[in-house]
Amino acid sequence: MRPDAEMLLKLNNLEVSYGGIRAVKGIGLHVGRGELVSLIGANGAGKSTTLRAICGLVPVAGGAIHYDGQSIAGLPSHTLVRRGLVMVPEGRGIFGKLTIEENLQMGAYSRDDHAEVERDKDHVFELFPRLAERRNQSAGTLSGGEQQMLAMGRAMLSRPRLLLLDEPSMGLAPLMVERIFEVIRTIASEGVTILLIEQNARLALEASNRGYVMESGRITLEGAGTQLLDDPKVRAAYLGEE
């Protein structure tokens, strides 16, 4: 077995630039199979840019991205989705004029195993009963929390092996945030590998096996989720504690 066999995702010296500005400055991180790993940091640190580079939505200026042992830098997003690398973007990106059911079906656009698709859809409705109650309702009429549920459910219809979540709790009420994190834990327990970007550092690190802290385009800290929760720098900068 090769040394990296248990790594589903590995970034090595990754660099991403926007208009001559280096947004990501040579970072390295890895996500093992079955792990839930969080990437925390202030706005503008380069977290979302990192996810977008992994998904092929922005070009890589340098370094390497390996997924399942193969280089994927420069591959189009639709190819990566077919390989099981799926992102729920910040802002959710749902199709507002389509129904909940139709949005979920869009997540399975690359699949032809119709019976399994229906089973996966039923599982999403078990995770999010509120969506089941509104399955024929236009997605654009849903609350922000319901739209986040739908975006996550649509991603699950793609049968992800690696699920990238970009700020899933942003703008949601506290009770909805708790529900979203319950589902994230459930999805992880079912064997889906997750890389999570989240402003709520406490919830993210409590849920995660490991975490990374990103500042100004660089990784400045890494460790077990519990270890980072106890780190004085993390507590002062991200948990509001002295």
- For the record, the structure tokens of 173 come out as 């009420």
- List C-alpha distances in Å: 238 to 20, 103, 124, 180, 228: 29, 35, 32, 20, 10
AA identity, residue 96: G
pLDDT above 80 for 240: no
Identify any residues that bridge with 196 across adjacent strands, giving them in sequence order. 38, 165
Q: Which two tokens stand for residue 195?
A: 């890389």
Residue 5 confidence class, pLDDT cut points 50, 70, 90: low
pLDDT 10s digits, 35-48: 999 999 999 999 99
Q: For 34, phi and psi rounded to 5 degrees?
A: 85, 0
Reported as a pLDDT band with limits 50, 70 and 90, residue 239 is confident
The pair of three-digit structure tokens given for residue 133, joined into one six-digit string: 């109650």
Radius of gyration over alpha carbons of the chain, in Å?
Answer: 18
The mean pLDDT value for 92-102 works out to 91
Q: Is 40 exposed, middle or buried (0-12, 13-18, 19+ CB in 10 A)?
A: buried
pLDDT digits (tens, 9 = 90+) for 53-67: 999 999 999 999 999
CA angle 173, 178, 179 (to 5 degrees): 100
By percentage, how much of the chain surpasses pLDDT 70? 97
Q: Name the residue type at position 142.
A: L
